[in-house]
Structure 1
Amino acid sequence: MKIIKGLLITVIVLAILGYGVYHFGTKLASDKLMEVLSTELENSGELEKIKQTIESDPELMAFLEDAESVDEQSLPFTTKEEATRMLVKKVGITGLQNIQSKVQEGQISKEELLQEIEGKLSEEEITALKVIAYKELYHK
């Protein structure tokens, strides 16, 4: 009986530790990813290029325009950090890196990218991402 009790306690402790590592690990990974990405975009001037690309594409502008009138209280997250954490959990770091490489190499179209993201995220999460992107681009 003592062996079963000891084994049960060990399993419970390991489960709690596993959850803690998962929860804090994804938080640390998403924070680090956000920091690296923000620094890289600002230093390379890519942020301005992205803004110009979006503004020159009517389809992308239409996609982002409804974000201006969304009630932020109804969104599942409102900050870049929370958005990154959610993307790391739902898509994964490897998945995000694959998407980035496909985009950079021109192997994926806007429509394919949107379908892939819509398959992994809810409508509310996509709306929250639109609002964050809109605020970042126009500093609102």
Structure 2
Amino acid sequence: MRFIKFVIIAIIVLSILGYGVYFFGTKIASEKLMGALSSELENSGEMEIIKQTIESDPELKALIEDAASADESKLPFTTKEEATRLIVKKVGITRLQDIQSKVQQGKITKDEILQEIEEKLTEEEITAMKVIVYKELYNH
């Protein structure tokens, strides 16, 4: 009887610890990823290139500008860190790296990326992503 209690308590404690490691681990990883990505984009001047690319593509521009009128109080998240955490959770780091590799090699189209994101995220999550991108690009 004592052994069963010990095993049950050990399982409960390990479950709680596992969840804590997962939750805080993804939070720390997403914050580091977002910080590194943001500073790299700003320092290399790529943010300006991204902004020009969006401005020159009417479809992308319309997609991002929808975010200007979104009601932020109804969004599931509002920070870059939360967005990164959601993307890492729903898409996965391996798949994100695969997409990045295909983009650099020119093996994937904008429509294929959008389709994959639409399959993984809800409409509200996509809207929240648009709002964050809009704020980042236009410093709002």
Kindly report structure 1 stretches of 4+ aligned residues shifted beyond 2 Å.
none
- Count the aligned residue pairs: 140
Q: Give the RMSD, CA atoms, in angstroms.
A: 0.8
Rounded to whole Å, the distance in 2 between the matches of 1:36 and 1:113 is 22
Q: Does 1:90 align with 2:90?
A: yes
TM-score by length of 2: 0.97
User: Match for 2:113: what amino acid?
Assistant: L
- Aligned match of 1:53: 53
Q: What do the CA deviations read for 1:113-139 (whole angstroms, capped 9, x no partner)?
A: 001001100000000001111111111
- Aligned match of 1:119: 119
> After the TM superposition, which of the residue ranges 21-30 and 59-68 deviates more from structure 2?
59-68
Report 1:1-140 matches (<5 A). Answer: 1-140=1-140
Q: Which runs of 5+ in 2 are unaligned?
A: none
Rounded to whole Å, the distance in 2 between the matches of 1:67 and 1:104 is 27
How big is the shift at 1:95? 1.7
Rounded to whole Å, the distance in 1 between the matches of 2:128 and 2:26 is 19
Rounded to whole Å, the distance in 1 between the matches of 2:54 and 2:16 is 44
Rounded to whole Å, the distance in 2 between the matches of 1:19 and 1:111 is 35
Task: Give % identity.
Answer: 73
User: Match for 1:20: what amino acid?
Assistant: G
